Chain A
Amino acid sequence: DGGITQSPKYLFRKEGQNVTLSCEQNLNHDAMYWYRQDPGQGLRLIYYSQIVNDFQKGDIAEGYSVSREKKESFPLTVTSAQKNPTAFYLCASSIGSGETILFRANVLTFGAGSRLTVL
Chain B
Amino acid sequence: RKEVEQDPGPFNVPEGATVAFNCTYSNSASQSFFWYRQDCRKEPKLLMSVYSSGNEDGRFTAQLNRASQYISLLIRDSKLSDSATYLCVVKGIYNQGGKLIFGQGTELSVKP
B45 at the interface (CB under 8 A from A): yes
Does B100 contact A99, Cβ atoms closer than 8 Å? no
Report the nearest B residue to A99, measured CB to CB. Answer: B98
> How many A-B pairs fall under 8 Å by CB?
65
Does A42 contact B99, Cβ atoms closer than 8 Å? no
A56 at the interface (CB under 8 A from B): yes
B97 at the interface (CB under 8 A from A): yes
Does B43 contact A90, Cβ atoms closer than 8 Å? yes
B72 at the interface (CB under 8 A from A): no
Does A42 contact B105, Cβ atoms closer than 8 Å? yes
What bracket does the count of chain B residues touching chain A fall in?
Answer: 20 to 34
Does A42 contact B91, Cβ atoms closer than 8 Å? no
B34 at the interface (CB under 8 A from A): yes
Contacts of B87 in A (CB 8 A): 42-43
Does A99 contact B94, Cβ atoms closer than 8 Å? yes
Does A103 contact B105, Cβ atoms closer than 8 Å? no
Contacts of B49 in A (CB 8 A): 103, 107
**What 8 A-B pairs come out closest when comparing CB atoms?**
A98-B98, A110-B43, A42-B102, A42-B104, A43-B102, A101-B31, A103-B49, A99-B98
